[in-house]
Amino acid sequence: MNVAALLRLTGANIEHAGLHNQRVVLHAIRVAGSATRAEVAAVTGLTTATVTNITNRLLEEGLLDRAGQRRGGRGQPATRLCVNPDGAFAIGVNIDRDHLTMVAVDFEGRSRARISREAAYSSPEDVQCFYRKHVHKLLEQGGIAPEALSGIGVARPDDLGAIDLPGRPRDYDRWSTHDVASLFAEPLDLPVTVENDAAAAAIGEMQFGLGQQYASFFYLLITVGLGGSVVVNSLYDRGADGRSGEIGFLLVEDQDARRVPLQEVLSIGGLARALAAKGLGGQAIHALDLDDPAVAAVTDAWVARAAAALAQPLIAVSCLLNPGAVLVGGRLPVALVERLAQATSALMQRDGGHAPVLAPIRTAALAEDSPAIGAALLAFGHLLLPADTPGRQPAAVISRDKGR
């Protein structure tokens, strides 16, 4: 088992800790791929009897499956348990300023079906229409019955309607007061969970991506803006007001020595403006032809500027949080993420010699659809997320009745 990622993820043998312990057991088995009850008990600190009771219940509910038996030693061979991907399903929706994406996800975190639309500044009515028009098609593509769904998770940037970005419609501030959950009230009778997109992406990465290697990490989400999330000891830390990780608002110097928010430089919006300035506007950033010499010249210059802007904030993140890694996700092409990581790391090593430890920068495993997949996982929150510490809770579930 990957014990390093679970050293701080311990259970509690007390009467009212059943739900927390169930989450811990599921997470331990997920990280390991398959495990015996004895191995789960050793990693979590729970008694073998407690683990046996929990796993028997999860087997009955179909959330776990038997992966085979380990032979060797005396007595009966130990049964290995694994997560049953067909044990539960959920829908994840990502609302952003340049696209709408909807995925159907199984209990292993795999996307069974995906529908996406490039759309600038979609209104609440646009989102509602997109969902209602495509949700049954999504389930049909994934071979998922509506009654098998646990819920719907929605990921969107904080201040979606409040931040004034280029091309923003006048009435886009309606998002600031609109009840997002109510957009998904029909046609399915499901609970809706709404969360910040960077937080959803980090939760998805924690459960199904590189979070299985790093118990503590800082997640950097590059979209039209720039978001961040903090994961400490396998727990997503929301902060006092639910706004931890807001790295995009830190002030940095741009190429004209002006003090601007980091996200004006490092974001898909920032790259799009750089391309437009060279007569290359209107291209889908996630599908850029990086072999085109004109595009390559712009992206090379942009990576250099973005790395210069990002290096000092990440030195501060390394000093303040000491994460095991900085994981980068979003709709930026992977090749650009890797170049950005290399350039930023080089500048951090050059300018951050005073820091005791500098976190490595890696491309997130879930990458492009991480907010949508992470949002879907929020519907599994009562099963997946071992977080019963105040201030480190997953997003609250918003029922449809309360959302109207």
Domain range for 314: 210-364
Instruction: Indicate the number of domains in the chain.
Output: 3
pLDDT at 341: 97
Same domain, yes or no: 105 and 52: no
Q: How far is CA 206 from CA 125, 199, 310, in A?
A: 32, 10, 23
Q: What's the pLDDT tens digit per position in 297-341?
A: 999 999 999 999 999 999 999 999 999 999 999 999 999 999 999
Same domain, yes or no: 329 and 216: yes
Of 31, 63, 83, which one is at a domain's C-terminal end? 83
Same domain, yes or no: 389 and 359: no
Same domain, yes or no: 264 and 328: yes
Same domain, yes or no: 222 and 358: yes
Same domain, yes or no: 219 and 336: yes
Instruction: Give the domain CATH number at 19.
Output: 1.10.10.10
Same domain, yes or no: 120 and 50: no
Look at 68 and 212; give whichever has higher pLDDT: 212
pLDDT of 65 > 80? The answer is: yes
Q: Which residues contact 98 (CB under 8 A, 6 or more apart)?
A: 118, 119, 120, 223, 224, 268, 331
Same domain, yes or no: 265 and 307: yes
What is the rounded CA–CA span in Å between residue 346 and residue 381? 38
Q: What's the pLDDT tens digit per position in 251-266?
A: 998 888 899 999 999 9
Enclosing H/E stretch for 80:
strand 78-83
Lowest mean pLDDT among 97-106, 238-247, 365-374: 365-374
pLDDT of 64 > 80? The answer is: yes
pLDDT at 208: 86
pLDDT at 62: 94
Of 62, 83, 104, which one is at a domain's C-terminal end? 83
pLDDT of 209 > 80? The answer is: yes
Same domain, yes or no: 120 and 59: no
pLDDT at 13: 47
pLDDT at 75: 57
pLDDT at 400: 32
Same domain, yes or no: 188 and 92: yes
Same domain, yes or no: 133 and 263: no
Q: What's the pLDDT tens digit per position in 124-176?
A: 999 999 999 999 999 999 999 999 999 999 999 998 988 877 788 989 999 99
Q: Are 267 and 250 in contact (CB under 8 A)?
A: no
Residues making up the chain, counted from first to last: 404
State the chain's mean pLDDT as an integer. 88
Q: What six digits make up the tokens of 353? A: 């010699």
Q: What's the pLDDT tens digit per position in 98-133?
A: 999 999 999 998 999 999 999 999 999 999 999 999
Start-to-end C-alpha separation, the chain = 45
What is the rounded CA–CA span in Å between residue 110 and residue 31? 15
Of 53, 83, 113, which one is at a domain's C-terminal end? 83
Same domain, yes or no: 325 and 217: yes
pLDDT at 384: 65
Percent of the chain topping pLDDT 70: 88
pLDDT of 201 > 70? The answer is: yes
CA angle, 204 as apex, 199 and 209 as ends, to 5°? Answer: 130
Instruction: Give the domain CATH number at 311.
Output: 3.30.420.40
